[in-house]
Amino acid sequence: MSTQKESDAGADAPATTGGLDGDDIEALLGEHVLDREEHNNAPAFVVRADAVQDVLSTLKEEAGFDHLSCVTAEEHEDRFESIYHLKQYDDPTEEVSVVVPTSREEPVSQTAEPVFRAADWHEREAYDLVGVNYEGHPNHERILLPDTWQGHPLGLDYNQDKPQIVTFEENKNPLEGHQRGAEDSDTMYLNVGPHHPATHGVLHVETVLDGEQIADVSPDIGYLHRCEEQMAQKGTYRYQIMPYPDRWDYGPGGIINEWAYARAAEDLADIEVPEYAQVIRTMGSEMCRIACHMLALGTFCLDIYGDFTAIFMYAMRDREEVQNLLEDLTGQRMMFNYLRLGGVVWDIPEPREEYFEKVRDFLDGLPGKLDEYNDLITDNEVFQSRTVDTGYLDPEVAKDYGVTGPVARASGVDYDIRRDDPYGYYDELDWDVVTEDGGDNYARLLVRMREVEQSARIIEQCVDLLEDWPEEDREIQANVPRTLKPDAGTETYKTVEGAKGELGIYIRADGTEKPGRFKIKSPAFCNLAALQEMATGEYIPDLIATLGSLDVILGEVDR
């Protein structure tokens, strides 16, 4: 909805009980708990398949777990399992997992959609790829694969060699039947995409217009579903998985994505990363963040102004500079493959002084460029009238959808994994989490632009640290065994702050050198699910602007 509501919800949000341990939660859930497991990150409670809503709403209302971070489904020899990973927006280190086993013969589980809107898409994906059915789900159909697909590809008995058929039908008009309004209303159905300049890739948005206003919008994804989870499950921990994260968020959030995998796998295999490597990782991932935000800014203005104009070219020019720095560091422009479990692959390029000087040159030039962007964009009256108060996202709605990253922070949700669940070297450095209260397209752009400044601050401090680091302590990799075989049954879910939001990896080890289940929780996936809340009631150009301000990268949405 476009009307900006007085938001006092932050004040009377459910009081967090703070520091609940597993036993407290077990007591709270009472007889619902069938069994208890320990995941590496959090306590996990096994509950009956028909008590999902009860358990989750108890946790949400009474224990303050208001963030459904991820839903993982997997198939075991004897059962299907759905795992709900819950967190708190106030303190993401408070985590709990709810494990819902169902039988292999009848994989039916109660839906969590009435409790968390975020479960809508997550459960559809779980049904699509693994084959768990969710009873009571409002829209129980495939999400990533075509409707005609036979079988569930991440299931155990899926035969990949079987031919598949994909139809080429016109998209049906959803207005037939119950969705049509009163007799005299003139609604119109409009397809945006999957090949469209404003969808930032291959996204298909099914839109229903009432006059010029949007009555209903539903993103249709899966046009870039390239089996990233299957690819990761086929690779060995040590080397074969690391190249794939670069291709999730190709913004390029390469190093951040690699770090998401590295964080989960290092937690699983209990690897300590040397501090020096942590500083390099921190610097690299902030460079990636700048490149991502520049792309978001450039393409957003491309959507607003409609052509390859100055702002797009300026943003590309600045990205080019960041990419040059990253290329010097990693050897590649986009697909870095720079992190290794336990460190990074090599040190800062020699001569070090020259590299640091290049980075400093870039950072020195940045404030001037940001002023230029502000003159061109944020101070521009035309731009403001296009973006202020359009695509409004209420903070409570954002939390319900599991929205994270710049999109959530622009709605005033003060949530940043880098600060709240620190990893790498972030807690040693001096920087701020950027939030805005606007919740509209303009606020989302502002957050990104201000985050670029903060990233520059972090990089500056990292460069200082790296420059003064004593030569004998420059340890870039921990001593990691050639073959990693974490114990069977160990499970972990770890997140990092990607450029688009909370990027989480769930890994279950099965005792071999390859993961038993590898689940990617993508931030853009959750952010895109909230599109209908932002765009309904708006005009079509505002829908395009909202889509641009969400900054979805389809490689990450579809995986």
The Cα–Cα gap between 66 and 528 comes to 19
Site string for other proteins, 306-325 (x = CB under 8 A): --x---xx--xx-xx--x--
Residue 333, interface with other proteins (CB under 8 A)?
Answer: yes
Q: Which of 24, 195, 212, 382 binds other proteins (CB under 8 A)?
A: 195
The Cα–Cα gap between 256 and 505 comes to 12
| Residue 363 beta carbon to other proteins: minimum distance, rounded to whole angstroms | 20
Residue 166, interface with other proteins (CB under 8 A)?
Answer: yes
Give the type of residue at 293: H
Angle, alpha carbons 158-159-163 (nearest 5°): 125
Q: How would you class 46 by CB atoms within 10 Å of its CB: exposed for 0-12, middle for 13-18, buried for 19 or more?
A: middle
Strand partners for 96: 86
Residue 5, interface with other proteins (CB under 8 A)?
Answer: no
- The 3-state DSSP class for residue 113 equals coil
Binding segment (CB under 8 A) for other proteins, from list 52-60, 267-275, 330-338, 351-359 = 330-338
Residue 227, interface with other proteins (CB under 8 A)?
Answer: yes
Nearer to other proteins, 223 or 383 (CB): 223
| Residue 326 beta carbon to other proteins: minimum distance, rounded to whole angstroms | 13
Q: How would you class 488 by CB atoms within 10 Å of its CB: exposed for 0-12, middle for 13-18, buried for 19 or more?
A: exposed
Residue 555, interface with other proteins (CB under 8 A)?
Answer: yes
Residue 515, interface with other proteins (CB under 8 A)?
Answer: no
Residue 541, interface with other proteins (CB under 8 A)?
Answer: no
The Cα–Cα gap between 276 and 348 comes to 11
Binding segment (CB under 8 A) for other proteins, from list 244-252, 350-358, 440-448, 468-476 = 244-252
Q: For residues 237, 255, 445 and 380, what is the CA-based torsion angle, rounded to 10 degrees? A: -150
Q: What b/e string do you get for 4-35 counting C-beta neighbours within 10 Å, with b at 16 or more?
A: eeeeeeeeeeeebeeebeeeebeebbeebbee
Residue 7, interface with other proteins (CB under 8 A)?
Answer: no
The Cα–Cα gap between 426 and 433 comes to 11
Residue 108, interface with other proteins (CB under 8 A)?
Answer: no
Residue 360, interface with other proteins (CB under 8 A)?
Answer: no
| Residue 523 beta carbon to other proteins: minimum distance, rounded to whole angstroms | 18
Binding segment (CB under 8 A) for other proteins, from list 150-158, 341-349, 356-364, 512-520 = 150-158
Q: Which of 31, 78, 141, 165 binds other proteins (CB under 8 A)?
A: 165
Length of the chain: 559
- The 3-state DSSP class for residue 120 equals helix
Residues that bind other proteins (CB under 8 A): 144-146, 148-150, 153, 158, 160-169, 194-195, 197, 200-202, 222-228, 230-231, 234, 243-244, 247, 250-252, 295, 308, 312-313, 316-317, 319-320, 323, 333-335, 554-555
